[in-house]
A and B are shown apart, each in its own frame.
Chain A
Amino acid sequence: KQEVTQIPAALSVPEGENLVLNCSFTDSAIYNLQWFRQDPGKGLTSLLLIQSSQREQTSGRLNASLDKSSGRSTLYIAASQPGDSATYLCAVRFNAGNMLTFGGGTRLMVKP
């Protein structure tokens, strides 16, 4: 069964800290992987898309890496700010189809 797991489920850090969110998946034959942000009660905002042929993508203070062989992706957030507080979701499109399989998310709180 193709599954996506995110650890930790929740994380609290002081403002300014650099942090890493983890995502693991059970099948290395992926098509692409996306990181999303979700604010409470809201929809999802796409942060970064990594194709299977890529190893990382960067946008501002965010950097996402992909290691297919180990079934892992990380989302690195530099110099965290209280506005970064949200739930971060990792989603994988496995080769079998168009469906995105979501992890359970990491709920991040950045304290001022």
Chain B
Amino acid sequence: SAVISQKPSRDICQRGTSLTIQCQVDSQVTMMFWYRQQPGQSLTLIATANQGSEATYESGFVIDKFPISRPNLTFSTLTVSNMSPEDSSIYLCSVKGGSSYNEQFFGPGTRLTVL
């Protein structure tokens, strides 16, 4: 299985600021995703991070709010821009297409609180 790390693990931010979350995988993977889990809710896919090109966003999510980078096959970042309290969630990086090709794995998450 893939080992995924995320930084930071948690943060408390002020309204109107931005936070960049990093995701590092210990092996090359085909697909990298970013999910959001709001308090008490299940997971919602924000976007698929594409290497060398713009991310593919799901309905309700836009690049200006959640810019994503993926410079190589093991690293991606998600920025939460111009934050509001409604952005308080756990943000999870997920990967697929490594040695266990069909199985999807998740990072430990970044717990974000916006005041």
Pairing of A with B: yes
Per-residue CB contact flags for chain B residues 87-108 toward chain A (1 = under 8 Å, else 0) read 0001010101000101111111
Listed from nearest, the 4 A-B pairs whose CB atoms lie closest are: A44-B106, A43-B108, A43-B109, A102-B42
Asked whether A65 is an interface residue with its Cβ less than 8 Å from the other chain, the reply is no
Known: A32-B102, A44-B106, A46-B104. A102 touches B90 (CB 8 A): no
Which B residues form the contact surface with A (CB < 8 A)? 1, 4, 6, 31, 41-43, 45, 48, 58, 90, 92, 94, 96, 100, 102-109, 111
Within the complex, the shortest CB–CB distance from B100 to chain A, in Å, comes to 8
- Chain B neighbourhood of A70, CB < 8 A: none
Per-residue CB contact flags for chain A residues 10-44 toward chain B (1 = under 8 Å, else 0) read 00000000000000000000011010100001111
Give the secondary structure class of B's interface: strand
Which A residues form the contact surface with B (CB < 8 A)? 31-32, 34, 36, 41-46, 49, 51, 89, 91, 93, 98-100, 102-105
Q: CB distance A44 to B102 under 8 Å?
A: no
**Closest B residue, CB atoms, query A100:** B104
User: How distant is the Cα of A98 from the Cα of B54 in the complex, in angstroms?
Assistant: 17
Of the candidates A31, A49, A98, A105, which one forms a contact with B48 in the assembled complex, judged by CB atoms under 8 Å apart?
A98
Within the complex, the shortest CB–CB distance from B92 to chain A, in Å, comes to 6
Within the complex, the shortest CB–CB distance from B32 to chain A, in Å, comes to 11
Q: Contacts A99-B45, A99-B58 known; list 10 others, CB within 8 Å.
A: A43-B4, A44-B43, A46-B1, A46-B103, A51-B102, A89-B42, A98-B96, A102-B42, A103-B42, A104-B42
Known: A98-B96, A104-B42, A105-B42. A43 touches B102 (CB 8 A): no
- Chain A neighbourhood of B90, CB < 8 A: 41
- Chain B neighbourhood of A98, CB < 8 A: 31, 48, 96
- Chain A neighbourhood of B109, CB < 8 A: 41-43
**Closest A residue, CB atoms, query B107:** A43
Q: CB distance A43 to B106 under 8 Å?
A: yes
Q: CB distance B42 to A34 under 8 Å?
A: no
